[in-house]
């Protein structure tokens, strides 16, 4: 008499599964609950019931999931991908990886290693030849004698191992904002507290503000130069000033230098040259376009080599080792000259900057392959939606920041696409 709707309403409203009622029981309840006889209330109850059913099934789904997953918010990037799914041949300024392929000579090294049967686990800390070459390079560059080295599964792997080995719940980690997304989420997962220090609007290293943010709980400061998402390169003066602040309070520095090769206007100074209590993280993903090969390394001065020992212990029970045949190719990569590729990227940077600078507020990026541009109208999310409707994929700044005023462009694409994208963005400004 009341149909399926009534059955659904009654069952979901009280979180009782559908089949639990017999018709006679239903008739009785409906007789008692007179409001259900009024059609407009019936519709209202139908929707409330439907919500209840949704809630019931959500709770059922969630019972397996750990609470810490709620500490991670993936919504920013997901929104861009959802909007982008409908686009045909978009101008893709969203991807953070080079548009060139792994150089042939390095591919051959990997193939050779695979054919030679070097397909088993390597030592946990990495292939001895690669580790030796990294140690030699680090010693030469920073004057660190006997540095401790760990080969990691990308810089992401290095960051995870470092945070696991170093962060206690409640420890504070100072991070210039904007920042690379992984830092915030992994630190939160481990119960650490991110202390963001604003570097807007010029994206220089905010040394004085970092000094003011130091407390008794500060465990480390993260530096990322050249920076994702701003493309900023920190000057020697800023880096030295930060080293002094860190030394005063005996704070560890983590320097993420994954973009060290993409450095367009002179050198990119490293804090490792000025401060021994530095954990250096570098990688192969960007410099040699090996993002899928998952390779990076961590290195420290011998005075803090226990950090690498603890990270190696963590690696044993997580990644086990970095991919063995690719470690062989990475050893060859350390001798591979990428200056021509970097010169091509400098040109891309110039095309993008010259094309946008009269219409947008942006700081000329000195490195990496990103520009962080102020969104016209104030809301980056709104401007990004408009850009995507016009076939240009960019990422809203709030993915990388506590603010939503800028958007990130990755210009790791063809010069033709950069020109087309610039033209569309200028039209929308
Ligand atoms: N650090 C920064 C600043 C990055 O931009 C990225 C990747 O985009 C990574 C680390 C991680 O790189 P991978 O894990 O591929 O080495």
Does the CB atom of residue 256 touch ligand 1 within 6 A? yes
For tokens 């481990």, what's the residue?
Answer: 190
Domain presence at residue 105? no
Q: Do 139 and 251 fall within a single domain? A: yes
Domain presence at residue 138? yes
Contact 346, 264 (CB under 8 A): yes
Pocket test for ligand 1, best of 94, 150, 154, 268 (most atoms within 8 A of CB): 154
Domain presence at residue 106? no
- Domain boundary pick from 314, 333, 352: 333
Q: Do 301 and 384 fall within a single domain? A: no
Give the separation between CA 414 and CA 345, rounded to whole angstroms: 10
Q: Do 245 and 277 fall within a single domain? A: yes
SS3 call for 99: coil
Nearest residue by C-alpha to atom 8 in ligand 1: 96
Q: Do 301 and 352 fall within a single domain? A: no
Does the CB atom of residue 228 touch ligand 1 within 6 A? yes
Contact 276, 301 (CB under 8 A): yes
Q: Do 287 and 415 fall within a single domain? A: no
Strands annotated E in 72-161 = 91-92, 148-152
Domain presence at residue 107? no
Domain presence at residue 15? yes
Q: Measured in angstroms, how far is the CA atom of residue 229 from the centroid of ligand 1?
A: 11
- Tell me, what's the pLDDT at 54? 82
Does the CB atom of residue 92 touch ligand 1 within 6 A? no
Q: Measured in angstroms, how far is the CA atom of residue 46 from the centroid of ligand 1?
A: 48
Q: Do 164 and 231 fall within a single domain? A: yes
Q: Do 157 and 304 fall within a single domain? A: yes
Closest ligand 1 atom to the C-alpha of 97? Answer: 8
Q: Measured in angstroms, how far is the CA atom of residue 54 from the centroid of ligand 1?
A: 38
Closest ligand 1 atom to the C-alpha of 368? Answer: 5
- Tell me, what's the pLDDT at 21? 53
Q: Measured in angstroms, how far is the CA atom of residue 255 from the centroid of ligand 1?
A: 12
Give the separation between CA 280 and CA 298, rounded to whole angstroms: 6
Q: Do 236 and 379 fall within a single domain? A: no
Q: Do 322 and 344 fall within a single domain? A: no
Q: Measured in angstroms, how far is the CA atom of residue 258 from the centroid of ligand 1?
A: 6
- Tell me, what's the pLDDT at 2? 41
Domain presence at residue 414? yes
Does the CB atom of residue 226 touch ligand 1 within 6 A? no
Number of domains in the chain: 3
- Cis preceding-peptide flag for 2 (omega within 30 of 0): no
First to last CA, the chain: 60
- Domain range for residue 418? 70-95+338-428
Q: Measured in angstroms, how far is the CA atom of residue 165 from the centroid of ligand 1?
A: 19
Q: Measured in angstroms, how far is the CA atom of residue 191 from the centroid of ligand 1?
A: 22
Q: Measured in angstroms, how far is the CA atom of residue 410 from the centroid of ligand 1?
A: 13
Does the CB atom of residue 396 touch ligand 1 within 6 A? no
- Domain boundary pick from 283, 314, 333: 333
List per-residue pLDDT tens for the chain, 429 residues long: 344 444 444 444 444 444 455 566 656 655 655 545 556 677 777 888 888 888 887 778 888 999 988 888 766 666 676 667 778 889 999 988 899 999 999 999 999 999 999 999 999 999 999 999 999 999 999 999 999 999 999 999 999 999 999 999 999 999 999 999 999 999 999 999 999 999 999 999 999 999 999 999 999 999 999 999 999 999 999 999 999 999 999 999 999 999 999 999 999 999 999 999 999 999 999 999 999 999 999 999 999 999 999 999 999 999 999 999 999 999 999 999 999 999 999 999 999 999 999 999 999 999 999 999 999 998 999 999 999 999 999 999 999 999 999 999 999 999 999 999 999 999 999
Q: Do 259 and 316 fall within a single domain? A: yes
Q: How far is CA 425 from CA 78, 172, 253, 383, 413, in A?
A: 22, 39, 38, 10, 16
CATH of the domain at 255: 3.40.640.10
Q: Measured in angstroms, how far is the CA atom of residue 408 from the centroid of ligand 1?
A: 15
Domain presence at residue 305? yes
Give the separation between CA 219 and CA 166, rounded to whole angstroms: 8
- Domain boundary pick from 65, 81, 108: 65
Nearest residue by C-alpha to atom 5 in ligand 1: 228
For tokens 């018709």, what's the residue?
Answer: 23
Q: Which residues share a beta bridge with 409?
A: 371
Q: What is the pTM of this model?
A: 0.87
Does the CB atom of residue 122 touch ligand 1 within 6 A? no
Does the CB atom of residue 260 touch ligand 1 within 6 A? no
Pocket test for ligand 1, best of 162, 176, 180 (most atoms within 8 A of CB): 180
Domain presence at residue 260? yes
Q: Do 308 and 359 fall within a single domain? A: no
- Joined together, the tokens standing for residue 135 give 């140690």
- Tell me, what's the pLDDT at 50? 85
Q: Measured in angstroms, how far is the CA atom of residue 48 from the centroid of ligand 1?
A: 45
CATH of the domain at 348: 3.90.1150.10
Q: Do 60 and 25 fall within a single domain? A: yes
- Tell me, what's the pLDDT at 120? 97
- Tell me, what's the pLDDT at 417? 95
Give the separation between CA 33 and CA 13, rounded to whole angstroms: 13
Residue 151 has φ and ψ, to the nearest 5°, of -85, 130
Spell out the alpha helix ranges (H) of 357-414: 380-389
């Amino acid at each position: 008499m009341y149909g399926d709707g009534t059955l659904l309403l009654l069952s979901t409203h009280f979180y009782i599964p559908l089949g639990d009622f017999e018709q006679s029981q239903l008739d009785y309840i409906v007789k008692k609950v007179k409001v259900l006889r009024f059609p407009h209330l019936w519709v209202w109850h139908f929707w409330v019931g439907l919500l209840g059913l949704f809630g019931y099934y959500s709770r059922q789904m969630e019972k397996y999931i750990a609470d810490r997953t709620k500490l991670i918010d993936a919504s920013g990037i997901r929104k861009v991908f959802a909007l982008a799914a409908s686009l045909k041949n978009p101008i893709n300024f969203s991807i953070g990886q080079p548009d060139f392929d792994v150089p042939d000579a390095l591919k051959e090294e990997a193939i050779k290693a695979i054919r030679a049967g070097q397909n088993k686990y390597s030592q946990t800390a990495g292939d001895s030849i690669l580790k030796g070459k990294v140690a030699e390079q680090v010693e030469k560059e920073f004057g660190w004698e006997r540095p401790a080295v760990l080969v990691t599964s990308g810089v992401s792997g290095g960051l995870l191992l470092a945070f696991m080995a170093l962060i206690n719940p409640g420890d504070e980690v100072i991070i210039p904002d904007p920042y690379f997304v992984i830092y915030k989420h992994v630190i939160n997962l481990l119960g650490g507290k991110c202390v963001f220090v604003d570097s807007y609007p010029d994206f220089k290293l905010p040394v004085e503000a970092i000094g003011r943010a130091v407390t008794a709980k500060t465990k480390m400061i993260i530096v990322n130069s050249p920076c994702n998402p701003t493309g900023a390169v920190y000057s020697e003066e800023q880096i030295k000033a930060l080293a002094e602040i860190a030394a005063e309070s005996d704070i560890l520095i983590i320097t993420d230098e994954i973009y060290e090769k993409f450095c367009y206007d002179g050198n990119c100074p490293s804090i490792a040259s000025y401060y021994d209590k530095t954990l250096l993280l570098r990688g192969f993903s960007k410099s040699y376009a090996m993002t899928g090969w998952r390779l990076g390394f961590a290195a420290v001065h011998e005075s803090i080599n226990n950090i690498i020992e603890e990270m190696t212990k963590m690696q044993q029970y997580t990644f086990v080792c970095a991919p063995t045949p690719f470690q062989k190719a990475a050893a060859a990569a350390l001798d591979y000259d990428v200056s021509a590729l970097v010169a091509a990227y400098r040109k891309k940077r110039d095309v993008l900057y010259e094309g946008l600078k009269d219409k947008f507020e942006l700081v000329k990026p000195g490195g990496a392959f990103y520009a962080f541009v102020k969104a016209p109208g104030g809301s980056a999310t709104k401007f990004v939606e408009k850009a995507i409707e016009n076939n240009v994929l960019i990422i809203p700044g709030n993915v990388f920041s506590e603010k939503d005023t800028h958007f990130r462009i990755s210009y790791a694409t063809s010069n033709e696409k950069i020109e087309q994208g610039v033209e569309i963005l200028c039209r929308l400004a």
